[in-house]
Chain A
Amino acid sequence: MIVERRASRPLALVLLAPVAAIAAALCLSGILIALAGAPVLEAFGRIATGAFGSRLSATETLLRACPLILTGLAAAVAFRARVWNIGGEGQLYLGALATVALGFSNPLGLPGPLLTVLLMAAGALAGALLLLGPLALRLRFGVDEVVTTLLLNFVVLLVVSLMVEGPLKDPLAFGWPRSVPVLADATLPKIVARSRLHLGLLLAIGAALLVWFIQSRSTFGLESRATGLSPEGASFAGVPLRRTLLKVGFLSGGLAGLAGAIEVLGNRLYVSTDLSPGFGYAGIVVAMLAGLNPLGAVLAAIFAAAMFVGSDSMGRALGVPSFIADVTVSLCLLTMLVALFFSTYRLRRERPA
C-alpha cells in the first residue's frame, strides 16, 4: 500500500471530507453513548439543542468559542508558516497573567475603555514575547520549537500558580489560589443580556477577519506563506526568513495572549490555574479543522465549542458521563485529520506483479 498525492482535488471530495469526518466521529461516540444505555438518536438531538436550542445554550456556545477562535487563529497563523507553536496554552495564561498584573489597579487613572485596550495589548504582547523565546532558540540553535513551546506551557502554569499563591493572590478569596480581579472599569461589556456572552466574541471575529486580510492581501501574508511552504524558495526570493518567522511568531503568540486577556476581561475577571480547560491545545484542533484558514477558524471554533457544550448538556440530560464531551471533540479531530488527508492523498494498493 503506498500513499500517493491526488493529481487533482475534486470539489465534491473537498466538501465531503469534513462531513464524512464528523459523521464518523458521531458514529463512534454514538457507540459510547449507547454503552451508557442512553438513546443515541435522542442524544444527538440533545447535543444540537444543548448547543443552540436556547438563548442560554447559544450564548454559552459562543462564549466558549471566543477564546477558541483566538487560539485557533494563533495556531493557524503559525502552522501556515511552519512554526509549530504548541504553546498556545502557555501564551494564553501569560497573556491573562499580564492583564491581571496590570489591570487590578489604575494608578494613572486612565479612562476605562482605554485601559481595556491597553490591557488587551499587554496580554497580546506577553503571549507574543513568550513565543519569541522558543523561536529565537530555533533560529539561533536549531532547537525544535515543538518541544520547547510544549514545555513552556507547564512552566507558565507554574508561574501562574506561584503568582496567584503569592504576589497576585486575592486577599479576599479566602485563601483560594486565585488572583485579584481586574478593575470593573476595564472589563468588556456583555453583548447579550442575562448571559455571559461578551464583546470579546466580536473582537475575536474581528481578529479573524484581520488575519484573513493580512494573510491573503498583504506582502507579509504572501511572504509568510512562502516561508512555510518552502523556506528555500522563499529565501531565494529574498524573503527575510528570520524576520518573517519572528513576525509570524509575534502574531501567533500575540493572538494566544489576546485570548487570555479577553477571557479575563470578558469572562473570568481574575486568573487562576483553571482559567483554561485546554483552550490552547483545542486551538490546534480548531486550526486543523479549519484547514488553517482564518475565517474557517471562526466556524471551527464555534463547531468545537458547540460539540463540547452540546455534549456536555446532553450528558447532563441523559445521565451520560460528562466526559463524553471531550471524547466527541477529540474524535472529531482525529477523523478530520484522516479525512483531510484523503482529500489530498489516496492509498494505492501496490499491484502484486
Chain B
Amino acid sequence: AQTPKMKVAGVHASPVENAWNSRLHGAMQKAAEDGLIDYVFSEGVSAGDYPRALREYAEGGAQLIVGEAYAVEAEARQVAADYPDTAFLMGSSGEPAGENFGTFGTWNHEAAYLAGMLAGQMTKTGTIGSVGAIPIPEVNMVINAFRAGAMEVKPDVKHLVGFIGTFFDPPKAREAGLAQIDAGADILYGERIGTADAAKDRGVKAVGNMVDYTPRYPDTVFANAIWNFDPLLRLAMADKAAGTPTAKNYTPLSLMKQGGNDILFVDSMVPAEALAVMEAKRKAIKDGSFTVPIDTAEPK
C-alpha cells in the first residue's frame, strides 16, 4: 500500500520568481512530482501577513511548512509553538526553537569561492565586481567568499561591491553592474538577478548565483554558484516522517559535501588551466581538507 503523501506548504515572502524562493519552490515542486508530497504555497506574503499564512496552513493540516523567518523571527517561533504538530523549516539567521522549529541558512559560499577562483584567473583588467541586494549575512557571506576565492589565485585583484538596496529590482542590479563595468570590472558576480544583463550588454562575463543562469545568458554566464534546497527538504521530510524532532539547524545540508551547493560552469568558456586549479580546490572542499571561511561582515 502507498503511504499517504505528506502535506507540505510553502510560504514565500517574495514572488516565486525570486531566485532564492525559486530554489525552495522548485525543490518542493519536484518532491510533489515524485509523488512524495502534496504541495501548496502562497507568494508575495508581506511580513504583516506572514504569521497568518503560517497559521492558516498549520490549521489546514500541513505537516511541514517551509518558508523564511528573516523578517518575522519572533512571530514565526510563536506560531510554531502554537502548532506543535506541524514541522517548520524556515530560512533564518537565528537558532532552531522548541520542538518543531527548524532553521537553515543559505550556504553556497563554497561554490561562490570556487567561482571567485575562476574569475580571478580569467579577469584581464584585474578588476571584478559583485552586485548584492542589501548587506545581510547571507549576502555578505557569498560575496566575501567570491572575493576570497579570487584573491587566492590573484592576490592583487580589485573587487568592487555594489548594493541595490532591495531584494528584487533587476533593472537596478543591471545599472549597478554597468557602473562596475565602467569602473573597470570585466567579470561580475551577480548575487542578484539583473547583474548578468549588464555583462551581456557590454560583452563581459558574469557569474550567476543560486540558480543556473547560463541558459538565460549563454555566452555571458560561465559559472554559477548553485544552491540546492533538495537535501534540506528531503532530510526535513524524513525527520518529520520518522517522528524525529525537527527543531534543528539544517544548514550543514547546504554544504558542498552534502550536495547542498556546487559550482556549475560552462567548459568551453573557461580556460583549462584555470579549471584545473579550481577543480583541485573543489575536491579539497568535498573531502574536507579545505574549509571555505565564513565571513558575514559587510564587504567594502
Contact surface of A with B, Cβ cutoff 8 Å: 54, 56-57, 60, 64, 161, 165, 173-178, 194, 196, 267-269, 272, 274-277, 309, 312-313, 315-317, 319, 322-323
Contacts and interface: CB of A to CB of B under 8 A. Distances in A.
A39 to B, nearest CB: 17
Nearest to A325: B49
A319 B41 CA distance: 8
B40 A60 contact: no
B59 A56 contact: yes
B92 to A, nearest CB: 8
A272 B74 CA distance: 14
Q: By DSSP majority rule, is chain A's interface helix, strand, loop, or mixed?
A: loop
A323 B52 contact: no
A316 B42 contact: yes
A54 B40 CA distance: 21
Given A174-B94, A267-B48, A194 B71 contact: no
A175 B43 contact: no
A57 B71 CA distance: 22
Contacts of A196: 51-52, 75
B135 A161 contact: no
Given A56-B56, A196-B51, A267-B48, A322 B70 contact: no
Given A56-B59, A175-B137, A196-B51, A319 B40 contact: yes
A268 B59 CA distance: 22
Interface residues of B, number: 33
Contacts of A309: 52
Interface string B136-166: 1100100000000000000000000000010
> Which of A268, A313, A322 gathers the greatest number of chain B CB atoms within 10 Å?
A322
B136 A161 contact: no
B18 interface: no
Contacts of B140: 175
Interface of B: 40, 42-49, 51-53, 55-57, 59-60, 70-71, 73-75, 82, 93-94, 134-137, 140, 165, 296, 298
B47 A272 contact: yes
22 contacts: A54-B59, A56-B55, A57-B56, A64-B48, A165-B134, A173-B73, A174-B94, A175-B93, A175-B134, A175-B296, A175-B298, A196-B51, A196-B52, A196-B75, A272-B47, A277-B48, A312-B42, A312-B53, A315-B42, A316-B60, A317-B60, A322-B42
Give the 3 A-B residue pairs with the shortest CB-CB distance, closest first.
Answer: A174-B93, A175-B136, A277-B46
A316 B134 contact: no
Contacts of B47: 268, 272, 274-275
Contact of A322 (B43, B60, B298): B43
A322 B44 contact: yes
Contacts of A56: 52, 55-56, 59
A63 to B, nearest CB: 8
B49 A174 contact: no
A275 B47 CA distance: 7
> Which of B40, B42, B46, B52 gathers the greatest number of chain A CB atoms within 10 Å?
B52
A61 B51 CA distance: 13
